């Protein structure tokens, strides 16, 4: 098959560096990235939602858009759902509809933060009636997951307090553990509970699961089917996320990612748009763990999900660009010369070790990815191909422009 411009030269350079180019291409073809239903609808900030012409208005349109992302990237066959943002009467029917589009339903996300009842929290709420409601909703989501053929229950809690003294930290921890134990016990074998942390927002004084350590402790109390989910936007500035990733992988407790990017807080911007080097370093840890027999099983089961919300940018293109940026980071991480890296580390050669990473990071992998896509029967430039396809104009005509209300993703 004819190569893309620049590919032969790159393949030769990589081969000279000792890279098994065919193995790298095979890994790139195997990679799978899940997109979120809520990334296709109108969303924004608490200041304003700018409605996008043709933005998906319901889960069926969201799946149709996700199928288009999969058609142009070839690596996004699953879609995460958020309940009750995604309103569905017939879950088996949804599963079939997804299948008719070449998709499957991925992680099921209960929404435990948008009912009036949850003013003081959900599973940590002082009132047992509210905690019961939260547990019932999670149990319902397990049933939904079984109906749609999903094996991931993905949990994020907005629980926290706004003022010192508002509630008892330790009592809230016990309430959470009690609630999650009941949910955990109801999960069928093979289902995983992913526990997502976030250090602030919407609560401003304390958040009940503020960091990976707290999520990890809860997961270990629950059992092996509970793991930690790392959302890249959920850390204080300066946090070394790749270190957290390596640590959790080593403990067998890294369950998945919510990829996005940010400059300041939980900005949910296009993955890799602000800090592509950080994304590369995260993938560097994932590849290292994939290649280490002690961590390979955990690394291979990691759920790679995007959690993004788009306000001023076209939603489908933003999603495709995120996928491309994730593939770029993964491709570069696959090029790291691990043997030279180990030798430099063992010799205490600080700069050489660092330069091994830079060599991989600074490689222009675009011809490699273009070649991979060509071999997968795809257009080498998925964003450009989508733009040419006329899909955006078609849905804008058919769906029109919705009146968007509040600012949180999925709200309408
Ligand atoms: C919270 C969060 C969580 C929610 C999603 C919409 O900030 O990252 O994953 O489910 O946003
Ligand atoms: Mn998230
Ligand atoms: Mn978030």
pLDDT digits (tens, 9 = 90+) for 210-268: 999 999 999 999 999 999 999 999 999 999 999 999 999 999 999 999 999 999 999 99
- Does pLDDT of 318 surpass 50? yes
Task: Tell me what pLDDT residue 406 has.
Answer: 46
Question: Nearest bound ligand to CA 113?
Answer: 1
Three state DSSP letters for the chain: CCCCCCHHHHHHHHHHCCCCHHHHHHHHHHCCCEEEHHHCECCCCCCCCCCCCCCECCHHHHHHHHHHHHHHHCCCCEEEEEECCCCCCCHHHHHHHHHHCCCEEEEEEECCCCCHHHHHCCCCCCCHHHHHHHHHHHHHHHHHHHHHCCCEEEEECCCEECCCCCCCHHHHHHHHHHHHHHHHHCCCCCCEEEEECCCCCCCCCEECCCCHHHHHHHHHHHCCCEEEEEECCCCCCCCCHHHHHHHHHHCCCEEEEEECECCCCCCCECCCCCCHHHHHHHHHHHHHHHCCCCCHHHHHHCEEEECCCCCCCCHHHHHHHHHHHHHHHHHHHHCCCHHHHHHHHHCCCHHHHHHHHHHHHCCCCHHHHHHHHHHCCCCCCHHHHHHHHCHHHHHHHHHCCCCCCCCCCCCC
Which residue among 84, 208, 269, 307 is best mutated to probe the pocket of ligand 1, counting the most ligand atoms within 8 A of its Cβ?
A: 307
266 lines ligand 1 (CB under 6 A): yes
Task: Tell me what pLDDT residue 402 has.
Answer: 78
- Does pLDDT of 410 surpass 60? no
User: How close is the Cα of 201 to the center of ligand 3, in Å?
Assistant: 9
Task: Tell me what pLDDT residue 2 has.
Answer: 58
| 7-64 residue pLDDT tens | 999 999 999 999 999 999 999 999 999 999 999 999 988 899 999 999 999 999 999 9
232 lines ligand 1 (CB under 6 A): no
409 lines ligand 1 (CB under 6 A): yes
262 lines ligand 1 (CB under 6 A): no
159 lines ligand 1 (CB under 6 A): no
ipTM of model over 0.85: yes
62 lines ligand 1 (CB under 6 A): no
156 lines ligand 1 (CB under 6 A): yes
Question: Nearest bound ligand to CA 155?
Answer: 1
Question: Nearest bound ligand to CA 82?
Answer: 1
Atom of ligand 1 nearest to the CA of 233: 8
Protein residue whose Cα sits closest to atom 1 of ligand 1: 156
CATH number, domain 32-335, options 2.40.160.40, 3.55.50.30, 3.20.20.150, 3.40.50.720: 3.20.20.150
Give the residue-averaged pLDDT of 383-392.
98
User: How close is the Cα of 156 to the center of ligand 1, in Å?
Assistant: 6
User: How close is the Cα of 133 to the center of ligand 3, in Å?
Assistant: 23
307 lines ligand 1 (CB under 6 A): yes
- Percentage of the chain modeled with pLDDT above 70: 97
| 144-199 residue pLDDT tens | 999 999 999 999 999 999 999 999 999 999 999 999 999 999 999 999 999 999 99
The region of weakest confidence among 298-312, 336-350, 397-411 is 397-411
Mean of pLDDT over the chain: 96
Atom of ligand 1 nearest to the CA of 229: 9
| 56-88 residue pLDDT tens | 999 999 999 999 999 999 999 999 999 999 999
User: How close is the Cα of 339 to the center of ligand 3, in Å?
Assistant: 36
Which residue among 231, 266, 303, 412 is best mutated to probe the pocket of ligand 1, counting the most ligand atoms within 8 A of its Cβ?
A: 231
| 102-145 residue pLDDT tens | 999 999 999 999 999 999 999 999 999 999 999 999 999 999 99
Protein residue whose Cα sits closest to atom 9 of ligand 1: 156
């Amino acid at each position: 098959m004819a190569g893309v411009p620049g590919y032969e030269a790159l393949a030769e350079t990589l081969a000279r560096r000792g890279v098994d180019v065919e193995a790298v291409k095979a890994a790139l073809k195997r990679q799978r990235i899940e997109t979120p239903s809520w990334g296709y609808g109108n969303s924004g900030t608490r200041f304003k939602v700018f409605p996008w012409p043709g933005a998906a208005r319901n889960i069926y349109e969201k799946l149709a858009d996700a199928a288009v992302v999969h058609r142009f990237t070839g690596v996004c066959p699953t879609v995460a759902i958020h309940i009750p943002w995604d309103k569905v009467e017939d879950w088996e029917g949804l599963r079939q509809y997804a299948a008719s589009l070449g998709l499957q339903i991925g992680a099921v996300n209960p929404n435990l933060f948008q009912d009036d009842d949850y003013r003081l929290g959900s599973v940590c709420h002082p009132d047992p009636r509210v905690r019961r409601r939260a547990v019932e909703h999670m149990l319902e989501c397990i049933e939904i997951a079984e109906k749609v053929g999903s094996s991931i229950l993905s949990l994020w809690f907005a629980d926290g307090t706004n003022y010192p003294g508002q509630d008892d930290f330790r009592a809230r921890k016990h309430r959470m553990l009690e609630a999650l134990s009941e949910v955990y016990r109801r999960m069928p074998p093979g289902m995983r509970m992913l526990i997502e942390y976030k250090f602030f927002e919407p609560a401003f004084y304390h958040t009940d699961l503020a960091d990976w350590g707290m999520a990890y402790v809860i997961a270990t109390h629950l059992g092996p089917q509970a793991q930690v989910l790392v959302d890249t936007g959920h850390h204080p500035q300066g946090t070394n996320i790749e270190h957290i990733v390596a640590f959790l992988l080593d403990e067998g407790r890294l369950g998945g990612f919510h990829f996005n990017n940010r400059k300041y807080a939980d900005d949910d911007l296009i993955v890799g748009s602000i800090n592509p080097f950080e994304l590369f370093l995260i993938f560097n840890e994932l590849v290292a763990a994939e290649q280490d027999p002690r961590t390979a099983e955990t690394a291979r089961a990691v759920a790679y999900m995007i959690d993004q919300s788009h306000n001023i940018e076209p939603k489908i293109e933003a999603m495709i660009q995120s996928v491309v940026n994730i593939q770029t980071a993964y491709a570069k991480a696959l090029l790291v010369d691990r043997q030279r890296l180990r030798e430099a580390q063992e010799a205490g050669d600080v700069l050489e070790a660092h330069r091994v990473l830079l060599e991989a990071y600074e490689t222009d992998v675009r011809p490699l990815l273009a070649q991979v896509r060509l071999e997968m029967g795809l257009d080498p430039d998925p964003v450009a191909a989508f733009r040419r396809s006329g899909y955006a104009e078609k849905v804008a005509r058919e769906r029109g422009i919705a009146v968007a209300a509040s600012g949180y993703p999925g709200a309408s």
